[in-house]
Amino acid sequence: MAKTLHIDFVSDVVCPWCVVGLGGLEQALETLKGEGIEAEVSFRPFELNPDMAPEGENIVEHIGRKYGSTPEQSAKNRAMIRERAAEAWPDFSDGKPFEMRMGEDSRIWNTFDAHRLIHWAGEAGQETQAAMKKALFRVHFTEGRNLTDAGVLTAAAESVGLDRAEAGEVLTSGRYVEAVRAEQALWRSRGINAVPAVVVEGKWLISGGQPAGVFEEALRGMAREG
């Protein structure tokens, strides 16, 4: 009999390790299907920079201010994460690896509206929500678009089959503002203060952008215990 695990993937759209972690998780789940282990994955909001201004911030300046990294350290980290993301998503789009094109001129954005659209996408089902999450990863990390721009966000929604006009209405009306805030508060109250945080069955935590093998081993054990 197949075992289905419920997974809450707590993450932010501008978190590069969340790209790596989701890729590793999906690779692991594909392998585990052959062992009778499946999963239902729900995407939960977490803002790394809730006070970020609408105009965003240069990535090098942001990383330097927040973590004390030099421009050289920042460039080295971007190169390393670029390789890890490509490994995690070898066939992200059209059979090609995920392209993380972040450079010294890239910007970090406020992501609250992006989380509202991910929440809305979840009402259409888990597959649609996952597609919306990946579309926003691509918009930010590959295309370098402004995540506070309603046109950018609604185009991303349309690209995964959602109604663009309704996406715009979600943004302008304030729908899901309280729901997203409540979810963020819930996960913080449960001790989540860094992402990605992969919470399995509400009781086990796998932290960080882990490779597929780590997820496979952990999820096998959880499936046995659960």
pLDDT at 140: 98
Q: What residues are paired with 197 via a beta bridge?
A: 10, 207
pLDDT at 1: 63
How large is the average pLDDT for residues 88-114?
Answer: 95
- Which pLDDT band, with edges at 50, 70 and 90, does 2 fall under? confident
The model's pLDDT over 161-215, given as tens digits with 9 standing for 90+, comes to: 999 999 999 999 999 999 999 999 999 999 999 999 999 999 999 999 999 999 9
CATH of the domain at 26: 3.40.30.10
- CA–CA separation, 226 and 224 (whole Å): 6
| Preceding peptide of 90 cis, ω within 30° | no
CB-CB contact of 20 with 85 (8 Å): yes
Q: What residues are paired with 13 via a beta bridge?
A: none
Residue 93 DSSP label: B
- CA–CA separation, 152 and 146 (whole Å): 7
Residue 47 DSSP label: -
| CB proximity list for 198: less than 8 A, separation 6 or greater | 7, 8, 9, 10, 21, 25, 205, 206, 207, 210, 215
The model's pLDDT over 33-58, given as tens digits with 9 standing for 90+, comes to: 999 999 999 999 999 999 999 899 99
CB-CB contact of 192 with 46 (8 Å): yes
CB-CB contact of 12 with 46 (8 Å): yes
Distances in Å between the Cα of 110 and the Cα atoms of 45, 155, 199 are: 13, 18, 24
Domain count, the chain: 1
Range of the structural domain that residue 179 is part of: 3-225
pLDDT at 226 over 90: no
The model's pLDDT over 143-159, given as tens digits with 9 standing for 90+, comes to: 999 999 999 999 999 99
- Which pLDDT band, with edges at 50, 70 and 90, does 74 fall under? very high
- Which pLDDT band, with edges at 50, 70 and 90, does 94 fall under? confident
- CA–CA separation, 44 and 117 (whole Å): 12
pTM, full prediction:
0.96
Query: Which of 139, 158, 159 minimizes the C-alpha distance to 149?
Result: 139
The model's pLDDT over 128-147, given as tens digits with 9 standing for 90+, comes to: 999 999 999 999 999 999 99
Helix, strand, coil percent content, the chain, rounded in steps of 5: 55, 15, 35
Q: What average pLDDT does the chain have?
A: 96
How large is the average pLDDT for residues 73-88?
Answer: 96
pLDDT at 5: 97
